[in-house]
Chains A and B, each alone.
Chain A
Amino acid sequence: MKYKQNRKIFAYLAMIVLSIFFIFPLFYMISVSLNPDETAILRNMASVRAFFPGDLSLKNFFDVFDRMPFARFLFNSTFIVSTTIIIGLLVNSMMAFALARLRWKGRALIVSGVVALMIIPFEAIAVPLLLITNRLGWLDSYHVQIIPFIANPLYIFLLFQFFKNFPSELEEAAIIDGANWFGIYWRIALPLSKPILSSVAILHFLMQWGSFLWPLMVTRGPEYRPLTVAMEVFFGQYPRNWGDIMAFAAMITIPVLLLFLYLQDTYVNTVARSGIK
């Protein structure tokens, strides 16, 4: 019993020390962002005092809105990400549905094609894609950041695996009701697939929200620039105002953090699912 008790104490100690390691940078970001006094930020940046700014204020946050079209960047990111996810869910699940539920020649071949495409990292197609989109005159636009990222072989495959496990009574019952394939997809398959649809949406969100290399290549001005590239551009401007930089960082991070704290169980399942081969 004594041994078990010791082990528990040790586990707690380890967990607490590790929590500090994982959380202090974010606390640091938040406390610096709330500190209106830039000289105090620089004076205290190396000590524990950095975590306890004297007077708290949202001045840095207002500064960010004053110094750049932050609202525009926020809109750009939100618009690009949500459009990609919504159209992506529809398009990817439609293809997955046809591959999993309809019986036709050649579908096994296409499934292996989709699996093969999963190996190609985005970095391996970025350069020719830049050439293609440049030729199409798409640079500096929303659609250049949306259209190439809608269809995704990993998401098609995850949805395919899920649809495949439905019992065949599913269609049989629907046929009695006189439904066609589209009706089965829309009124039966999709409503039964909420767990996998939310997983795919989460993966898609993380990919698009954090996307950096591509928007860096295809956006020139602030008009269509997403938050990530705007953050990097702001970070590259000297002299650096760390209070404002951290306020900017906090505004990108905190909404997403709250969303994921709310969705934590779905997120945990999503990651677990992406790890199961």
Chain B
Amino acid sequence: MLRNDKKSITTFMLPASILLLVFMVLPFLMAFGLSFTNQRLIESPRGTQFVGLTNYVRALGDNLFRTGLTNNAIFVLVVVPLQTALALALAILVNIKVKGNKFFRVIYFIPTVTTMVVVSVIWSFLYHPDGLINGFLTSITFGAWDGIDFLNNTTTAFPSIMLMSMWQGVGFQMLIFLAALQEIPDSFYEAADIDGANTWQQFLYITLPQLKNTTTFVIISTTILAFRLFTQVYVMTNGGPQNSTYTAMLHIYNMAFKRLNIGYSSALTVIFFLIILVISIIQRIALNDTEEEV
């Protein structure tokens, strides 16, 4: 047997361990520590003091942060069910054994390899008051549609960003569902055919139960992405109009980078992380439950 000498272990482990400790564990722990101080990005002449729970008290009364979190929650409630259902529908569609299904699969995942900044820029043009989407709506309603400035309207701005985000992200979940669909043995469907189950019944009693784990994974990971929402809103609306597209991450960015208030933005970061943590724990529990059932 080859000796598991300390020297090899250290050589293999050290580079990644140091990087993880310095650039992940340390800042993660610092976020908690900093959240109890009035730390500034550029050290103030009065120095940094311990301020106790001041930052957290302030966060609780911070209307902008609450608006941001509420918008994140709305995004979750609208986008997660729609995107999951659409992803599943797409996966089933490209899983039908017809010629060219592979070609369509490629088309549907193309947006996922397009950078979010670029996607935001293209869609800003499509959403332009005189843009293609307004033009399309005008022509299918025979002129009844009055063009609207989608991104400058408090009612339409956030839904517009949601639609675009789904367009960009759904292909990814489609591929995850597709992989799971291909794991389901054909014999399940053959048996159901013999028993006279129709397509809908097969979907309900075979496909859906078999996809339970995958669906949980997709729902949770999309929820986490929804809380991390930043690039689209920053590029397209910068949180406006009237904060209708403001998000928690945008607020953290503004507090840290514009106000240079590291202490306060760290407190917001901790709250943000606790939300992500709860969602992740729910995922682990949900997945473990289903694993035990199998």
Contact (Cβ within 8 A) A94 B12: yes
Say how far B177's CB is from chain A's closest CB, in angstroms. Answer: 8
Check: B110 CB closer than 8 A to any chain A CB.
yes
Contact (Cβ within 8 A) B171 A277: no
Q: Given the complex, which residues of B lie within 8 Å of A158, measured CB to CB?
A: none
B76-84, B154-162, B200-208, B265-273 - the one binding chain A: B265-273
**How long is the Cα–Cα vector from A110 to B10 in the complex, in angstroms?**
13
**How long is the Cα–Cα vector from A117 to B26 in the complex, in angstroms?**
12
Contact (Cβ within 8 A) B2 A45: no
Check: B213 CB closer than 8 A to any chain A CB.
yes
Check: A73 CB closer than 8 A to any chain B CB.
no
Q: Which of B12, B107, B132 has its CB near the most chain A CB atoms (within 10 A)?
A: B12
Instruction: State the main secondary structure of chain A at its contact with B.
Output: helix
Q: Given the complex, which residues of B lie within 8 Å of A46, measured CB to CB?
A: 130-132, 134-136, 138, 147
Known: A45-B132, A95-B17, A120-B28. A257 touches B104 (CB 8 A): no
Say how far A144's CB is from chain B's closest CB, in angstroms. Answer: 10
Give the contacting residue for B19; candidates A150, A181, A209, A242; CB below 8 A.
A150
**How long is the Cα–Cα vector from A19 to B174 in the complex, in angstroms?**
14
Contact (Cβ within 8 A) B132 A257: no
Contact (Cβ within 8 A) A275 B214: yes
Contact (Cβ within 8 A) B276 A18: no
**How long is the Cα–Cα vector from A212 to B101 in the complex, in angstroms?**
34
Contact with A along B165-180 (1 / 0, CB 8 A): 0010001100110111
Say how far A208's CB is from chain B's closest CB, in angstroms. Answer: 11
Contact (Cβ within 8 A) B31 A128: yes
A-B contact pairs, 5 of them (CB 8 A): A11-B93, A45-B128, A95-B16, A148-B23, A277-B213
Residue positions of A touching B, CB distance < 8 A: 7-8, 11-12, 14-15, 18-19, 21-23, 25-26, 28-29, 32, 42, 45-47, 50, 90-92, 94-95, 97-99, 102-104, 110, 114, 117, 119-121, 123-132, 134, 147-151, 153, 156, 171, 174-175, 180-182, 184-185, 206, 209-210, 212-213, 216-217, 227-229, 231-232, 235, 242, 245-246, 249, 252-253, 256-257, 260-261, 264, 267-268, 271-272, 274-277
